Chains A and B, each alone.
Chain A
Amino acid sequence: MRPQNAEPMLPGFIRHLFPTVAGLPAGPLLTLSLRSLARRRPGLFERLGEYRSACFGIDPVDLAFAFRVVPDGQRSSVRVVSKDGTAGSDVLIRGPLLTLLSLLDGTLDGDAMFFGRIISISGRTEAVLALRNTIEDAELRPSDLLGLHGILARCVDTGVLGALGAVRRMADNSPSEAQKA
């Protein structure tokens, strides 16, 4: 059994597929996705209240890059930055990518991950809570970010979530960096 605070890291070959330069296009694409989502579900950002204009640094520890996210409805922005580029964010959330994605889809509980030190936070704690609770209630699926509906949405959700599940299983079966150390 995996120790409670062992980090389910991305398998090495996947990490090598995504150097910083490969992540750069993700910024504009995710910005467009968030803004489109805000147009389709304007109430979704309401729970953030005053924290919608806060800058959230998201640092997946098993990727070569990080993100700076301002979840401000139709003015949202996502930038791919270097690991040092999260400095100055109102909040910094660090953790393995698969764990962060599991928090996004509500599979895992943020407090439990925090208690176990699998994720760490620093900065404005109240903004982290607002973001966590907003994401929890949003019940986002991959198709929501892509603006898809109907059969196509179901196919994409099945495919993306299935692929993520496969990567999680690979991560569970491979020793983490923490375990190797």
Chain B
Amino acid sequence: MTTKRMELVCPAGTPATLRAAVQAGADSIYCGFRDETNARNFPGLNFSRDELAEGVRFAHDHGSKVLVAINTFARVDDVHIWKKAADMAAESGADAIIAADFAVLDHVARNHGQIRLHLSVQAAAATPEAIGFYAAQFGIRRVVLPRVLSLQEIAALNRAIDVETEAFVFGGLCVMIEGRCYLSSYATGKSPNLNGVCSPPEMVSYDEGPSGTTTRLSGFTIDRYGRGEPVGYPTLCKGKFKAGDKTSHLFEDPVSLNAGGMIAGLKAAGVTALKIEGRQRGKGYVSEVVRAFRKAVDAVEKGGESVDIDRLLAGQSEGARQTAGAYEKKWR
């Protein structure tokens, strides 16, 4: 078990949300630039160079850190966009860059040795060998774990590596291995890996009809909801499809991860940092979720029981449902 206090890593899609996360008790805030260099490239979201510098100043003044996600994969002939983003992050005084692409990792390792490198979940590194390779080649200090590992697997991994691990504890879930999902590309020609968008919003439509709402992605109907029925994100992996004579959420139910009851287990498994997903979410979500997890982490650190976080956060969950995901994996 790690004796160090666990770090609570929280999302921010705008400067106002960054301030809200800091004030709600985040130890670290992760954010990205307003372009395709990060995996949440949505209209109106993210930071300019000046906003990031100001956000770093605000966070540092309040004892928090800022981690900059430059975690999409660079394109041939356009690598300079990703390198420039890394340069701007380093100049802003940010505490770490979260990256997955070899080109970005290599550029930061060679040119910005003063800034920590964290391996993004987009790299899907889940074995001691893979993580050891990134540590040896680029000097990564932390790996964000793919959301496919059980608690036992995380504990075994931590015993075999000597870099920090960061585990998701709340928010949206990917059913596919991060960085290798092509569902969005198949339907829309754009993907989170290259363009920073899963289900680009310009290709999503919600059509209201007499019996409810139909969700379409690039013209494909992916779900229909009756009136008042909770909905999820408009991604193919959470769509409802007919196979044989049965209609169901074939890949994944629209649910949110909530590992609030597993904080002590994650600490015992050697996890350094707990990550909340949701840079696309608003201040209301960030404030509420961060505050609840701050309370829960502090309770565990003091040796007490975790608070009833499931009930506290039910209203913020996709599809109004929650799961412990792979941490309680019962399949293989």
Contacts and interface: CB of A to CB of B under 8 A. Distances in A.
Interface of A: 4-5, 47-49, 51, 102-103, 106-112, 114-117, 120-134, 136-139, 178
Interface in B251-294: 280-285, 288
B314 A4 contact: yes
A72 to B, nearest CB: 15
Interface of B: 13-17, 20, 42-45, 200-202, 204-208, 213, 225, 227-232, 234, 280-285, 288, 314-320
Contacts of B15: 137
Contact of A4 (B13, B44, B200, B320): B320
B283 A136 contact: yes
Contacts of B230: 4-5, 115-117
Contacts of A178: 228
26 contacts: A4-B315, A5-B228, A51-B43, A102-B284, A109-B281, A109-B285, A109-B288, A109-B316, A112-B281, A112-B317, A115-B231, A115-B319, A116-B230, A116-B315, A117-B230, A120-B206, A123-B205, A125-B206, A126-B202, A127-B43, A129-B201, A129-B280, A130-B43, A136-B16, A136-B17, A138-B16
B206 A47 contact: no
Contact of A125 (B17, B204, B231, B284): B204
Nearest to A92: B208
B44 A122 contact: no
The secondary structure that dominates the B interface is mixed
A150 to B, nearest CB: 22
A137 B204 CA distance: 23
Contacts of A131: 44
Contacts of B281: 109, 111-112
A136 B14 contact: yes
Contact of A133 (B20, B44, B213): B44
B14 A137 contact: yes
Nearest to B197: A126
Contacts of B13: 133, 136
Contacts of B225: 117
The secondary structure that dominates the A interface is helix
B320 A116 contact: yes
Given A110-B282, A129-B201, A136-B14, A117 B316 contact: no
A70 to B, nearest CB: 16
Nearest to A128: B201
Nearest to A49: B43
List the 3 shortest-distance A-B pairs measured between CB atoms, nearest first.
A133-B44, A109-B284, A109-B285
Contacts of A130: 43-44
Contacts of A122: 205-208
Most interface-central of A4, A123, A137 (chain B CB within 10 A): A137
A125 B282 contact: no
Nearest to A107: B284
Nearest to A102: B284
A5 B320 CA distance: 10
B280 A47 contact: no
Contacts of B228: 5, 117, 178
A94 B225 CA distance: 17
A121 B17 contact: no
A133 B43 contact: yes
Contacts of A124: 202
Most interface-central of A102, A117, A121, A131 (chain B CB within 10 A): A117
Given A115-B232, A122-B206, A125-B204, A133 B284 contact: no
Given A5-B230, A49-B43, A122-B207, A111 B285 contact: yes
Contacts of A103: 282
